[in-house]
């Protein structure tokens, strides 16, 4: 599907116009809601010391007191985490913090994605009770587990919930519920990831139990950084600080498990090569997620906390193998569903597919790829013995959680965000579910057309692209949700050289000449080799791209990462 190019409209702003700032950078800041000199100063100069005091969190005082009581009385504590990268890093972070604070009897529990699904469950609570656990601390989950918390209380287990997901109508009656989305949470920043909330709890614990060691928490920012990026929360406010400093810590990480993951995966990260958020999102997070998708998330968790490089090496090889398997299986299922969607859902707004052989762990990935390709909300489910389990992804025009709420009476369980959700449906209600969701999507899409769209920040004159502009753009890092890497379009560039490179000739390697001043730019279009197999040298093209700095062999030069092209 060809993609529609949409250039952002930027409103004039007298506050920033009066400042001595590159007009390209000014427009990029305005597009991100940074519309005053004060906001601009905060954006560029945010520091670790600017993080908010966690003591303001509603429930934090009660949580710290209960955990302190557990240490004094020698109670066994269990950390109950989610199976994605956010949950795994949060579990590892809190485990490390409690160990460092002198807690000796700590267990962890991460549910099996295939057998147990998301969040706490009665069977797991029963297991923890038999294991002698007296206090459960959830990370990245628990906010909807009303009955499970009641079950725990009946078995003599107290529960502290730390989570960041949407707030349900009724909260669990836990010892403490710490979630920035609670209306009166007392915390000024709402968009923390699960690992960010866990870090806030760890900070409060250090402040109470070991204030002289609190600076050591900075070494945990590698995990906060990974989980925050992986969970696709906005990289603004506190998240920007976490990632900005977390990337530096990651380049110096002392964790043998992460070091071996980098070596095995040939991920070039070191003190001399600080990664960007893109590398974390596309090289590190998928590997951590792969274990939970293809086997059990405890594989990645154990790798992260392992201190012996020899043992970590074997674990990293296992994770790498699972990631490669995940890539292969995902590709196969996507191709299968592409045919179904083309033949059976051509004239329908909602794509709905199920198969008993598709692994639950990758259904979200698959649904996302199908949604991106067909620009339609998509549900991909696995048929199990008594129910269907799966994931939904949506387009901006449809809030999938609102649609799910309309048919909540026929669902076993559901949860998620506006564009991504998970669901469990009984066999007897699966047809009703499809009908209700189709109607809900049709209602929301009435009179609208979903386009596969490339959002462009600005049209730029290639003659204005110089090392100083690149340096100013890099000051805006880290890039991610809410602060995406700037996308530019340049018209009438001349193709000086072009060839396809990589295994299977997947990538487009070009040299593009700027009209007028003769500047030339090396350019790479990943995955564009098939789309543009024969562009004549000397032809004129309009190009959509990111401006990057290539440091190959120590020689730094400007490079375009091509997103799309139009041959004139």
Question: What's the CATH code of the domain at 128?
Answer: 3.90.1640.30
Percent of residues, the chain, with pLDDT higher than 90: 72
Has residue 250 been placed in a domain?
Answer: yes
- For 361-384, what is the mean pLDDT? 94
Same-domain pairing of 390 and 421: yes
Supply the pLDDT for residue 295: 87
Strand partners, 416: 421
Query: What CATH code is carried by the domain that includes residue 529?
Result: 2.40.50.460
Structural domain includes residue 321: no
249 within 8 A of 219, measured Cβ to Cβ = yes
Domain encompassing residue 360 = 344-445
Any idea of the CA torsion for 294, 298, 300, 304, to the nearest 10 degrees? 180
Q: Do 100 and 149 contact (CB within 8 A), yes or no? A: no
- pLDDT higher than threshold 50 for residue 363: yes
Q: 34-38, 384-388, 448-452 — which is least confidently predicted?
A: 448-452
Domain finish residue from 397, 419, 445: 445
In 3D, which of 547, 482, 511 has the Cα closest to residue 231? 482
| pLDDT score of 1 | 44
**Residues 388-401 pLDDT 10s:** 999 999 998 899 99
User: Based on C-alpha coordinates, what's the Rg of the chain?
Assistant: 25
In a domain, residue 337? The reply is no
Please spell the DSSP secondary structure of 202-237, one letter per residue: HHHHHHHH-GGGGGGGGGGHHHHHHHHHHTT---SH
Same domain, 105 and 140: yes
Helix (H) / strand (E) containing 74 = none
The pLDDT score that the predictor gives to residue 34 is 85
Output the CA–CA distances (angstroms, integers) from residue 271 to 229, 378, 491, in the order listed. 20, 42, 39
Do 461 and 414 sit in the same domain of this protein?
no
How far apart, in whole angstroms, are the C-alpha atoms of residue 85 and residue 89? Answer: 6
Mean pLDDT of the chain: 91
pLDDT at residue 301, rounded to an integer: 96
For residue 81, what are the CA distances in angstroms to 52, 139, 391, 401?
Answer: 24, 5, 19, 23
Bridge partner list, 494: 513, 540
Residues with Cβ within 8 Å of 317's Cβ and at least 6 positions away in sequence, in order, are: 264
Residue 203 confidence class, pLDDT cut points 50, 70, 90: very high
- Find where tokens 């199990």 sit: 384
Among 543, 537, 542, 539, which Cα is nearest to 524's? 543
Residue 65 lies in a domain: yes
Where do we find the tokens 């998330």?
A: 297
Task: Give me the CATH number covering residue 421.
Answer: 3.10.310.30
The rounded distance, in Å, linking the Cα atoms of 213 and 98 is 13
User: Is 523 found in the same domain as 439?
Assistant: no
Would residue 556 count as lying in a domain? yes
Instruction: Flag whether 374 is in a domain.
Output: yes
> Per residue in 78-105, pLDDT tens?
999 999 999 999 999 999 999 999 998 9
pLDDT, one tens digit per residue, over 140-186 is 999 999 999 999 999 999 999 999 988 888 999 999 999 999 989 99
Q: Are residues 431 and 379 in the same domain?
A: yes
Supply φ then ψ for residue 470, to 5 degrees: -60, -40
Domain end: 388, 414, 445, which one? 445
Residue that finishes a domain, picked among 445, 476, 495: 445
Q: Is the pLDDT of residue 479 over 70?
A: yes
Give the separation between CA 363 and CA 370, rounded to whole angstroms. Answer: 10
Instruction: Kindly tell me if the per-residue pLDDT of 232 is higher than 70.
Output: yes
What CA–CA distance (Å, rounded) separates 322 from 55? Answer: 40
- H-state helical runs in 427-551: 430-445, 467-474
Same domain, 556 and 473: yes
pLDDT of residue 138: 98
Q: What would the two tokens of residue 106 be? A: 């700590």
**pLDDT value for 118:** 82
14-47 pLDDT per residue, tens: 566 666 788 888 888 888 888 888 888 888 888 9
Is residue 100 situated within a structural domain?
yes
221 plus 352 within the same structural domain: no
Question: Is 31 among the domain residues?
Answer: no
> 310 and 163: one domain?
yes
Q: Which of 53, 14, 54, 58 is nearest to 35 (CA)?
A: 14
Q: Same structural domain for residues 409 and 547?
A: no
Does residue 204 share a domain with residue 270? yes
User: Are 383 and 498 contained in the same domain?
Assistant: no
- Counted domains in the chain: 3
Residues 149 and 277 in one domain: yes
Q: How far apart are the first and last CA of the chain?
A: 19
Q: Is the pTM of this model over 0.85?
A: yes
């Amino acid at each position: 599907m060809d993609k529609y190019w949409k250039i952002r409209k930027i409103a004039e702003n007298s506050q920033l116009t009066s400042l001595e700032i590159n007009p390209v950078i000014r427009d990029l800041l305005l597009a991100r809601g940074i519309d005053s000199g004060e906001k601009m100063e905060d954006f560029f100069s945010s520091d670790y010391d600017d993080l908010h005091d966690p003591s303001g969190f509603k429930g934090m005082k009660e949580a710290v007191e209960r955990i302190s009581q557990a240490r004094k009385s020698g109670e066994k504590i269990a950390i109950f985490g989610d199976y994605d990268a956010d949950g795994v890093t949060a579990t590892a972070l809190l485990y490390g913090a409690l160990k460092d604070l002198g807690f000796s009897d700590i267990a962890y529990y991460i549910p099996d994605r295939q057998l147990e699904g998301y969040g706490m469950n009665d069977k797991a609570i029963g297991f923890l009770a038999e294991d002698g656990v007296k206090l459960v601390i959830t990370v990245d989950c628990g906010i909807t587990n009303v009955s499970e918390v009641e079950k725990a209380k009946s078995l003599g287990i107290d529960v502290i919930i730390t989570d960041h997901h949407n707030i349900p109508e009724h909260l669990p009656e836990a010892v403490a519920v710490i979630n920035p989305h609670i209306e009166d949470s007392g915390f000024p920043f709402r968009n923390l990831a699960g690992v960010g909330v866990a870090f806030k709890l760890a900070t409060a614990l250090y402040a109470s139990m070991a204030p002289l060691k609190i600076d050591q928490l900075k070494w945990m920012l590698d995990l906060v950084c990974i989980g925050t990026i992986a969970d696709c929360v906005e990289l603004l406010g506190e998240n920007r600080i976490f990632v900005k400093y977390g990337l530096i810590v990651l380049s110096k990480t002392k964790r043998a498990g992460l070091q071996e993951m980098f070596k095995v995966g040939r991920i070039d990260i070191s003190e001399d090569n600080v990664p960007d958020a893109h590398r974390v999102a596309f090289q590190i997070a998928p590997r951590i997620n792969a274990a939970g998708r293809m086997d059990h998330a405890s594989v990645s968790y154990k790798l992260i906390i392992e201190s012996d490089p020899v043992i970590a090496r074997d674990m990293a090889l296992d994770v790498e193998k699972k990631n490669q398997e995940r890539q292969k299986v995902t590709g196969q299922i996507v191709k299968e569903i592409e045919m179904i969607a083309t033949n059976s859902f051509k004239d329908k707004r909602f794509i709905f597919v199920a198969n008993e052989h598709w692994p639950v762990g990758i259904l979200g990935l698959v649904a996302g790829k199908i949604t991106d390709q067909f620009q339609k909300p998509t549900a991909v489910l696995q048929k199990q013995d008594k129910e269907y389990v799966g994931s939904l992804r949506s387009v901006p025009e449809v809030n999938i959680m609102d649609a799910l709420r309309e048919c909540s009476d026929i669902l076993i369980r559901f949860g998620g965000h506006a564009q991504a959700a998970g669901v469990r449906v009984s066999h007897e209600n699966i047809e009703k579910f499809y009908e209700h969701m189709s109607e809900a999507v049709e209602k929301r899409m009435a009179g609208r057309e979903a386009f596969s769209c490339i959002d462009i920040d600005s049209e730029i004159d290639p003659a204005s692209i110089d090392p100083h502009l690149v340096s100013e753009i890099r000051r805006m890092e880290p890039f991610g949700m809410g602060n995406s890497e700037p996308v530019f379009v340049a018209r009438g560039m001349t193709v000086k050289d072009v060839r396809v490179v990589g295994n299977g000739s997947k990538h487009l390697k070009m040299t593009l000449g700027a009209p007028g001043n003769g500047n030339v730019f090396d350019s790479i279009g990943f995955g564009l080799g098939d789309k543009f197999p024969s562009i004549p040298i000397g032809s004129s093209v309009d190009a959509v791209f990111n401006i990057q700095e290539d440091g190959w062999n120590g020689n730094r030069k400007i490079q375009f990462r091509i997103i799309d092209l139009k041959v004139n």
